[in-house]
A = this chain, B = another copy of it.
Amino acid sequence: MIRPYFLALEKGHPPLPLDEVIDQLAFDSQGLIPVITQDATSGQVLMFAWMNRSALEHTITHQRMTYWSRSREQLWCKGETSGHIQQLISMSFDCDGDAILCQVEQRGAACHTGRQSCFYLKVDNQERLVQVTGTAEQLTT
């Protein structure tokens, strides 16, 4: 989406107040924005989830990843019960302010199945099959 606020930043701009930028982020009609979580060391994409403004503020303040759980309709402090917390290392917004990338230090596994990453269903394009990779050694929450 072309959005004037972000368009004006494209060629460079002095640092902006964080709260001003957050005000401009493209939270959807449910107040949510997509979040990509990546391992800061390995670069592996660990998971995809959503934040509302409160989850975003919580994550920034505490440097621990907090999402919005769409199924439970509540803040989801990642690792609260499993211990598999994600320490925030860096955060970026994209060019039109409609997605957030977070690099984290992952304790334990990111996926509730016990796998390191949630993206374990691999497309085998030639055979038109999907491989279920990895082993769920433990179920975590």
| Residues of A that sit less than 8 Å from B by CB | 1-2, 6, 9-19, 21, 34, 36, 38, 42-45, 47-48, 60, 63, 70-71, 88, 90-99, 101, 111-113, 115, 118-125, 127-132, 135-136, 139
Contacts and interface: CB of A to CB of B under 8 A. Distances in A.
Contacts of A93: 119, 121, 123, 130
A15 B130 contact: yes
By secondary structure, the A interface counts as loop
A125 B71 contact: no
23 contacts: A9-B121, A10-B113, A11-B136, A13-B132, A15-B129, A17-B128, A17-B129, A18-B125, A21-B121, A21-B130, A34-B48, A38-B45, A43-B44, A48-B101, A90-B122, A91-B122, A92-B122, A92-B123, A93-B123, A94-B119, A95-B112, A95-B121, A101-B119
